[in-house]
C-alpha cells in the first residue's frame, strides 16, 4: 500500500544553510519529522547553490517520513541579484532602483521556465519582466 501524504509544507530556505533552529524547526517540528535528518538532506542537495534562497515543497507521510522537491529561486531574488540591488522599490514601478539587460532577463527566464506557467522562453521573459517592473527595475536593451 502506498504511503499517504498527511501534510505539504512550503518554505524558502537559504541553500546549504538549513538548521533545526527557527524558522525551519518551528514549522517542521509540529509535523513530527526528524529535523536533523531533513536539514542534512536539504543541505547536501543544495550545497552547489550556496548563497541562493530556494523554495522547497515538503511532503510529509503518515509514517512521519518525508520527501522534498527543490524549486528554482524566486524571480525577485534572481532579478535583485542581476541588478545588484539589496531590495526592490517600495513605490512599485513609479520609483526606479536599478536596471538589468535583455540578456540578463533571458537568463533569469531560462532559469525560471520549469516553475513558470509558460511554454517558451519569450513568454517566461514577459512574466519576469513584469515582476522586474513592479520591483522598480527597468529592462534596457
pLDDT band at 132 (very low <50, low <70, confident <90, very high): confident
Mean pLDDT over 112-134 rounds to 86
Instruction: Give me the residue spans of the domains in the chain.
Output: 5-70, 75-140
On the 0-12 / 13-18 / 19+ scale of CB atoms within 10 A, 83 is: buried
Percent of the chain predicted with pLDDT > 70: 99
Tens-place pLDDT, residues 31-87: 888 888 888 888 888 888 887 888 889 888 888 888 888 888 888 888 888 888 888
What does the pLDDT read at residue 60?
Answer: 87
Helices and strands per DSSP (H, E), number in the chain: 5, 5
Task: Measure CA 65 to chain center.
Answer: 23
pLDDT band at 1 (very low <50, low <70, confident <90, very high): low
CATH class of 5-70: alpha beta
Enumerate residues 6+ apart whose C-beta is below 8 A from 64: 32, 33, 34
The fold adopted by the segment(s) 75-140 is: Arc Repressor Mutant, subunit A (1.10.10)
Domain 75-140 in the same topology as domain 5-70: no
Amino acid at each position: 500500500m502506498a504511503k499517504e501524504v498527511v501534510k505539504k509544507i512550503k518554505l524558502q530556505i537559504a541553500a546549504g544553510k538549513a538548521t533545526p533552529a527557527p524558522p525551519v524547526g518551528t514549522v517542521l517540528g509540529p509535523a513530527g519529522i526528524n529535523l536533523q535528518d531533513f536539514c542534512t538532506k536539504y543541505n547536501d542537495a543544495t550545497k552547489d547553490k550556496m548563497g541562493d534562497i530556494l523554495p522547497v515543497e515538503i511532503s510529509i507521510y503518515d509514517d512521519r517520513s518525508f520527501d522534498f522537491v527543490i524549486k528554482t529561486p524566486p524571480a525577485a531574488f534572481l532579478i535583485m541579484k542581476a541588478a545588484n540591488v539589496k531590495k526592490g522599490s517600495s513605490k512599485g514601478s513609479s520609483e526606479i532602483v536599478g536596471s538589468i539587460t535583455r540578456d540578463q532577463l533571458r537568463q533569469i527566464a531560462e532559469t525560471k521556465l520549469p516553475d513558470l506557467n509558460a511554454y517558451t522562453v519569450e513568454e517566461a521573459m514577459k512574466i519576469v519582466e513584469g515582476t522586474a517592473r513592479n520591483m522598480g527595475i527597468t529592462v534596457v536593451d
